Amino acid sequence: MNNKYELIYEGKAKKVFTHDDLDKVIIEFKDDATAFNALKKAKFEGKGKLNCLISARIFELLMKNNIPTHFLELKNQNTMIAKKIKVIPLEIVLRNYAYGSLCKQTTFKPGTLLAKPLIDIYLKDDALNDPLITKDRIELMNIISSENLNLILDLTLKINEILKKFFQNIHLKLVDFKLEFGYDFKKNILLADEISPDNCRLWDLNQKNDIIVSLDKDRFRNDLGGLIEAYSEIHRRINNFI
Ligand code: TMP
């Protein structure tokens, strides 16, 4: 990155830099992958570029459907310009099917279709290992007003409807995904972070039997191999469709 821009924040998968305009930031997607709160780490050449391009496409799709997001434009293949936001320290997970931590913490069998979308909220705090949190705890910790929390939950359900249909069209099952939101300068709530195979579970529907073929970060989490091939396939299907 051109050194006239200052690094504001470095996360596990992205770096955020200043922009000439004070209300914008430059987000660089890294090739690093982490799992289990960074207990497991690796680098996959080309992952940053794929996640950046996939996220840009998904943000554009959501904005066309009246979802407010921080995305402004691609700067290059692994860098995007976004509105500067103040991050709300919550990770909103929506699950259509039971998998991952839900199956470890409940008696749901992996792959079960849930009777309705389930929203699990986690506190975004690495030191505490991003614990599952309740609405009452959120209120008592003064993280967000209940009105704004309801707005976020409502947006999450709408995003699910848009993404579910979109991924179905490209023969992918949207099992679950994680969202993050923030406030812009005017205190509007915007969808932030990224939407990519790093934070969505996507299963291939082009399979003859009912076997699960993950085209997402579970390839790394569960040592399945072929992560770049899977992300490239998602990118290819999105580009061929839009
Ligand atoms: P989980 O089953 O491990 O709780 O994950 C649910 C979804 O959230 C899955 O699509 C992966 C995503 N996720 C993240 O994006 N970041 C995280 O730190 C975790 C734990 C999950």
Q: What is the pLDDT of residue 220?
A: 98
CA distance 86 to 25: 12
In terms of pTM, does the model score above 0.75? Answer: yes
pLDDT score of 99: 98
What is the C-alpha separation between 123 and 162, in angstroms, rounded? 25
- The number of the ligand 1 atom at minimal distance from the alpha carbon of 200 is 10
Does residue 90's CB lie within 6 angstroms of at least one atom of ligand 1? no
| pLDDT tens track for 184-232 | 999 999 999 999 999 999 999 999 888 999 999 999 999 999 999 999 9
Residue nearest to atom 13 of ligand 1 (CA): 199
Backbone phi and psi for residue 236, each to the nearest 5 degrees, phi listed first? -60, -45
pLDDT of residue 150: 98
pLDDT at 11: 95
Strand, coil or helix: 157 = helix
Tell me, what's the pLDDT at 242?
75
pLDDT value at residue 58:
98
pLDDT digits (tens, 9 = 90+) for 157-180: 999 999 999 999 999 999 999 999
Instruction: Give the separation between CA 154 and CA 66, rounded to whole angstroms.
Output: 13
Average of per-residue pLDDT values in the chain? 97
Contact 42, 26 (CB under 8 A): no
pLDDT of residue 211: 92
Cβ atoms of residues 59 and 69 within 8 Å: yes
> What average pLDDT does this structure show over 55-70?
98
SS (H, E, C) 115-150: EEEEEEEEECCHHHCCCECCHHHHHHCCCCCHHHHH
pLDDT of residue 208: 85
| CA 95 to centroid of ligand 1, rounded, Å | 10
Mean per-residue pLDDT, 77-94? 98
- 193: Cβ below 6 Å to ligand 1? no
All structural domains of the chain, each given as residue ranges with its CATH number in brackets, are 7-83 (3.30.200.20), 86-226 (3.30.470.20)
Tens-digit pLDDT profile for residues 102-148: 999 999 999 999 999 999 999 999 999 999 999 999 999 999 999 99
> Ligand 1 in contact with 214 (CB < 6 A)?
no
pLDDT at 1: 72
